[in-house]
Structure 1
Amino acid sequence: MTCLQNPVSWRPLGKTGVHYWLVQRMAKTCGVDTAQAMSDGDLQEATWVDMVQHCRTCQWVDGCQRWLDQQDTESAASPPGACVNGDIFQRLAERQKQ
């Protein structure tokens, strides 16, 4: 019989609806129009689903909500370093600026 030396602590995924809206808000705050990105072919539906799913694994939900609440939605912000989807938001924002 084998035992795990360092068992991984299991954490449940966050609620889909909460994280869907966090991803939506983060996109908007970072200056990303997700509908336009999909129309342009820069964002695939499967990628969007993966982003929401990845967000559900994040443990920075409270910090994310506070950060989003502090941002000015009129000017595009760079995604915070703690955002698990930050690289994607940054790429999409840069693409839409072109």
Structure 2
Amino acid sequence: MKPIGSQCRHYWLLQDMAKATQVDLARAFREGRISTQEWAGMVGRCRACSWPDGCQSWLRATPGPRHIPSRCCNRARLALLKIEEELDCT
């Protein structure tokens, strides 16, 4: 079984992925669209992901807003949060 990555590294990878794809996790949390448990679950999924080095390379590759990569294990949730933000579903 593959060991999971460090909580700190993956917290920041998730934050960087959200920022790169124009998803505001802090706003979603403040507005009640994600709970503390859900945010922790997203970090947990990231920690168990097999693509952290590729993710980090992807994040560094091109500045500016991008689409959420298919390899991201939080892709579906980030995409939904992005849609909610675009529709301003508060």
Amino acid at match of 1:27: A
For residue 37 of structure 2, what is the aligned residue in structure 1?
46
For residue 70 of structure 2, what is the aligned residue in structure 1?
81
1:32 pairs with 2:13: no
Q: Distance in 2 between matches of 1:48 and 1:78?
A: 20
If you compute each CA radius of gyration, which structure gives the higher value, 1 or 2? 1
Match of 1:95 among 79, 84, 87: 84
Match of 2:52 among 58, 61, 81: 61
For residue 13 of structure 1, what is the aligned residue in structure 2?
4
Displacement of 1:25 after TM fit?
0.3
TM-score, length-normalised on structure 2?
A: 0.90
Q: CA RMSD in A?
A: 1.0
Aligned residues: 87
Displacement of 1:94 after TM fit?
1.0
Q: Deviations over 1:63-87 (max 9, x none)?
A: 10011112323x3x22100000001
Structure whose residues are more often helix by fraction: 2
Following TM superposition, the consecutive aligned residue runs of length 4 or more in structure 1 with deviations greater than 6 angstroms are none
Amino acid at match of 2:56: Q
TM-score, length-normalised on structure 1?
A: 0.83
* Structure 1 residues not aligned, in runs of 5+: 1-9
The alignment-based identity, stated in percent, is 37
